Amino acid sequence: MTTKEKKLPDAGTDTREDSGKRLILFNDDINTFDFVIETLIEVCGHDPHQAENCTFIAHFKGKCTIKTGALEDLKPCYEAMTLKMLTVEIQ
């Protein structure tokens, strides 16, 4: 009987097939839950349940990935959310 050795990826290597960007929503003490939920539905195309979950994750964990994709796809959402005074970042 032989054993197979598992090879782990290097720590600096991105193993995702699509190494796109992430749009991150950060918690703040200014905007209401309802406003954030409505904005996620309007700007990011979330359904109400997804928007509510993202809002609660951002509130309790401090941040939440709300959308992934190419930079050029995330920029319009980033700009719209920034105009609505939400704290977001593309990583």
Place of tokens 């003490």: 29
pLDDT tens digit sequence for 30-77: 999 999 999 999 999 999 999 999 999 999 999 999 999 999 999 999
The percentage of residues in the chain with a pLDDT greater than 70, rounded to a whole number, is 79
CB 74 within 8 A of CB 23: yes
Confidence of residue 2 (pLDDT cuts 50, 70, 90): low
What average pLDDT does the chain have? 86
DSSP single-letter state for residue 84: T
pLDDT of residue 78: 98
pLDDT tens digit sequence for 13-29: 444 444 599 999 999 99
Mapping DSSP to helix (H, G, I), strand (E, B) and coil, where does residue 35 land?
helix
